[in-house]
A and B are shown apart, each in its own frame.
Chain A
Amino acid sequence: MTTGTLTAGRTRFRLPRKQIPVLATLALLLVMYGIGVSQYTAFSNVQVIFNVFIDNGFLLVVAVGMTFVILTGGIDLSVGSVVAMTAMVSAALLQDGMPAALVLVIALLIGPTLGLLMGCVIHFFEIQPFIVTLAGMFFARGMCTFISGASIPITDGFWTSMSQERIGDPRGNFVSISVLIAFVVVVIAAYTLAYTRLGRNVYAIGGNPQSALLMGLPVGRTRIAVYTISGLCSAIGGILLSFYTLSGAPLIAVGMELDVIAAVVIGGTVLTGGAGYVFGTVLGVLVLGVIQTLITFDGSLNSWWTKIVIGGLLFAFILLQRLIGIRYK
């Protein structure tokens, strides 16, 4: 490399360089919010922001799990179906009269179990994560309709109280419990990635699995762990979704994995792994949420514009990552 002298001169710019995607997302978020506020008077209401969190709490949790997987250079296509399956299983069990606490435990165990199995197949049999999680996606979606072809309402007292509980001023600005749960998940995930051994292993494997292996890091264990974490996050997301909709529907959250991947990429995580932050993912989810809010506020734009705008943003952010020279394989 001829950059010996160059890098010496540029050392000062190196650190921010890594964070440019996150900063760009932040700037975009502020600009979009600014546009919203300048166009619609009601947009400046704080509750608009809270509503973005309330509507996207489950997406946030799932995206955090996906961040772990993408940081190792893998991908998890099963998240949307696992979310639906978790909601479906809890709705079905509650309908059968099982106590809420037990249902919660069972529902929270399904996702990680599936994630663990997928991680084991990926690691031990060296099959592409794309294919294995695709099979997981088919399996979970199939289970949903296997449980019931129609949606099941949830009438359980615990679920309805979780759904209707408003934290803050009930007449003014409030958030739901789901938002708090999502925040707790975000904080734990951010701490894990930044300060624990597991988190550093995740970054190391994403950077270069071979080097990580040669360094003596537990590559297999970490790889299986990230899929389990993603499964757990999907399960939590599924519970939050069932709080939000108070039902389990077999076709809910179809295509959610794309939204989640888009949020993670817009949040600055590189799909080849090794670079990215949970904070970026939070921003990515917020960007998606604000786009939806803007389109709802506008009223004249149709829902398909959301998809086109998300596609355009994906393109812009990938180009940005490319331009600032974050390593692509």
Chain B
Amino acid sequence: MNDTTSRYRTMIGHRLFWPAAVLFVMLAANTIYRPGFLSIELKDGHLYGTPIDILRLSAPLILVALGMTLVISTGGIDLSVGSLCAISGAIACMYISKQPDQNSLGVVVTALALAMGVSLVLGAWNGVLVAVIGIQPIIATLILMVAGRGLAQLITEGQIITINSEPYRAIGLGHALTLPLAIFIALAAALLVAAFTRRTALGMIIESVGGNAMASRLAGIRSSRVIFLAYVISAACAAVAGFMMTANVSSADGNAAGLWVELDAILAVVIGGTSLAGGRFFLSGTIIGALIIQTLTTTVYAMDISPQTSLLFKAVVVIAVCLIQAPAFRARFSRRRRNVPPPATIADKPKEQVPA
């Protein structure tokens, strides 16, 4: 008995418990609502099904959120990722659309390299503003968030650029080993980031900079270089996500591509348990967070509710997850549980936000 309670406690206390529980509850609710929800079928050597769709569609968000995790763990924030997605997608599509042979692999690779190069420069710009000039991250990246949208529209000249390039389309819709290619790209990025941060000292350095930049500098870590690096990585992730978003629809729209993805990414990071104040970061939590957001979106679509109304559900989930994770809320909750046996607060509290 005592053993089970303590095991129950450790499980509840695990940082991934609540995000994973929310994801599980959402999947379960979906399966009850639509019994075919979890079914996967094999067609033409490709796997199809809602779970696969959720994975494929969440790939760009996972990418952006990975970069965002690193930035947030240095104590910063990167609002410009949405604009960067739009810019990278716009440059790639613009270059491809100008070429005579859009299906040539060389053209696509050049386009990707070009767009990636520009994104890295823009990421470096963010990094310089934050790490060298010392501007507050939220405002330093706000500059590129506002101006970047304009730049993306400048590149596409306000038009929606449509391309007809098979290799480029494959980034978003291609398949490998029966699974969508996008999943592998996101997985590769996640493994790469995980390897660099968890198998080398880099992760710990990032966490120490986020915990206390001054103390880490005194301990011999070049804080500003680490912070700079985080913004560049974030820009690179956003660029790849931008390729995916534009490849999904084979067109680049400077206005709509990556709109609000920065907010979703920040949400994914926060849901995953990384504190916005910086310090420890959890890549696995971030990925679960991104999956939660995409599952929510897909659920709402499947229930035939307008996409905009899905924001309503998102608001409720965000507040619920953040409240559950907030130490202040937990303290109140557990105190009440000790005094009054029936703890109905978890269900009630998040909804308190809602009436308006």
Contact = CB atoms under 8 A, between A and B. Distances in A.
B158 A302 contact: yes
Given A138-B318, A141-B311, A145-B309, A126 B356 contact: no
Contacts of B129: 315
B134 A322 contact: yes
Interface stretch (A160-168, A215-223, A274-282, A305-313): A305-313
Contact of A127 (B138, B144, B326): B326
Contact of B309 (A121, A142, A308, A312): A142
A307 B87 CA distance: 14
Contact of A262 (B146, B329, B355): B146
Contacts of B329: 125
A139 interface: yes
B147 A307 contact: yes
B276 to A, nearest CB: 5
A138 B314 contact: yes
Given A134-B267, A145-B309, A304-B153, A311 B276 contact: no
Interface string B302-324: 00001011111111101100110
Contacts of A110: 356
Contacts of A315: 129, 143, 147
B149 A307 contact: yes
B134 A328 contact: yes
Contacts, number: 148
A138 B311 contact: yes
A311 B143 contact: yes
B24 to A, nearest CB: 22
A99 B140 CA distance: 47
Interface string A291-317: 000000000001111111011101100
A251 B276 CA distance: 29
A36 interface: no
Nearest to A302: B158
A135 B135 contact: no
B145 interface: yes
Contacts of A75: 138
B150 interface: yes
A311 B139 CA distance: 10
Nearest to B156: A304
A117 B146 contact: no
Contacts of B136: 271-272, 328-329
A142 B138 contact: no
A95 interface: no
Nearest to A89: B356
A128 B276 contact: yes
Interface string A115-143: 00100010011111011101111111111
A130 B316 CA distance: 15
Given A117-B356, A134-B263, A126 B327 contact: yes
Contact of A311 (B147, B322, B355): B147
B56 to A, nearest CB: 24
B133 interface: yes
Interface string B39-55: 00000000000000000
A149 B276 CA distance: 34
Contacts of B134: 322, 328
B32 interface: no
Contacts of A311: 143-144, 146-148, 150
Contact of A143 (B138, B139, B319, B356): B356
A173 interface: no
Given A250-B308, A258-B142, A318-B135, A142 B313 contact: yes
B211 to A, nearest CB: 16
A139 B311 contact: yes
B143 A318 contact: yes
Contacts of B142: 258, 261-262, 314
Given A134-B266, A145-B306, A302-B153, A258 B276 contact: no
A82 B145 CA distance: 21
B149 A117 contact: no
A110 B356 CA distance: 6
Contacts of B263: 134
B150 A322 contact: no
Given A135-B319, A322-B135, 20 more contacts: A110-B356, A126-B326, A127-B323, A134-B266, A138-B312, A141-B308, A146-B312, A258-B145, A304-B254, A305-B154, A307-B146, A307-B153, A308-B147, A308-B150, A310-B146, A310-B147, A314-B142, A314-B143, A314-B146, A314-B147
10 contacts: A114-B356, A126-B327, A135-B318, A135-B322, A136-B315, A142-B309, A146-B312, A250-B308, A302-B154, A322-B134
